[in-house]
Amino acid sequence: EVQLVESGGGLVQPGRSLRLSCAASGFTFNEFAMHWVRQAPGKGLEWVSGISWNRGSIGYADSVKGRFTISRDNAKNSLYLQMNSLGAEDTALYYCAKDYRRWLHPNWYFDLWGRGTLVTVSS
C-alpha cells in the first residue's frame, strides 16, 4: 500500500526539542522530493520544509529557519524533522507529503500525504 506514516509528535515544553519521523512505503522513496507541512489547530496549511531526492536541495519557511532541520535516509525510506527551540507557535499537526518530482521546483505539487502527527508545545 502506498502510504506515509508520521510519528514522534507529543507534548513538549517551550524551548525543548523534538524529532519527527515519516515512514514511506509502496513507492520508490529515493526518487522523490519530500516535504513537511503543518496545520495549527483550526488554522490553515503552512509549508515547513522540503528536501530533494538526493538531499542536494533543501528549503525552509522563514518561520522555522535556523531552528528546524529536515533530513532523509533513503536506505530506510524515511524522512525526518528535527525541531529545536520550540515555541507555542509551533503547536500544530505536522504532515509528511510526497512531491511528484525529484527536485524542489516551482512546478510542484504534493500527490501523497500522511495522516499527520500532533505536536503540542506547552508548559
32 touching other proteins, by CB under 8 A: no
20 touching other proteins, by CB under 8 A: no
Closer to other proteins by CB, 7 or 15: give it. Answer: 7
113 touching other proteins, by CB under 8 A: yes
61 touching other proteins, by CB under 8 A: yes
Q: Are strands 10-12 and 117-121 parallel, antiparallel or unpaired?
A: parallel
* CA separation for the pair 40, 57 (Å, rounded): 26
**Which residue of 20, 104, 119, 121 would you call a contact of other proteins, by CB under 8 A?**
104
* CA separation for the pair 92, 64 (Å, rounded): 13
**Which residue of 62, 66, 75, 123 would you call a contact of other proteins, by CB under 8 A?**
62
User: Which letter, b or e, does each residue of 64-85 get, where b requires 16 or more Cβ atoms within 10 Å of its Cβ?
Assistant: beeebbbebeeeebbbbbebee
**Which residue of 1, 13, 75, 109 would you call a contact of other proteins, by CB under 8 A?**
109
Q: Residues in contact with other proteins, total (CB under 8 A)?
A: 23
103 touching other proteins, by CB under 8 A: no
- In the complex, the residues that contact other proteins under the rule CB under 8 A are 35, 44-47, 50, 59-62, 95, 104-111, 113-116
